[in-house]
Amino acid sequence: MKTMTTDDLLNLFDANEDLNVIDVREDFEVEHGMIPGAIHIPLGSIPERTEELDPAKSYIVVCKAGVRSANACEYLAAQGFDVTNLEGGMMSYDGELEFK
């Protein structure tokens, strides 16, 4: 499974890369802020919402600490998606937040 650190992610943001981030945390967790531009698909909803994802795009998957996002990455990779797990999740992320 591909992984990246939060420093890697912040460097990509700084380089104005076009990023596709999926936040798999629960509703009550995303109330505390999300990575700007991330789409929220709770882990339990991933199987029925894969049609919302573009198989031609690469995705960075995030959760609170990196375990649920790793599970989501394993599932999505098995479905043919190009996914990268954010190591340490939101607990390690100290960048800008967006509130929905």
Looking at 63, 76, 83, 90, which residue is catalytic? 63
- What is the average pLDDT score of the chain? 96
pLDDT tens-digit profile, the chain (100 residues): 999 999 999 999 999 889 999 999 999 999 999 999 999 999 999 999 999 999 999 999 999 999 999 999 999 999 999 999 999 999 999 999 999 7
Q: What is the pLDDT of residues 14-32, one digit of tens each?
A: 998 899 999 999 999 999 9
- Is 2-92 in CATH node 3.40.250.10? yes
Give the separation between CA 90 and CA 85, rounded to whole angstroms.
12
67: Cβ contacts below 8 Å, ≥ 6 apart: 89
Question: Which candidate, 38, 35, 40, 37, places its Cα nearest to that of 95?
Answer: 35
Quick check: is 63 catalytic? yes
The domains of the chain are located at 2-92
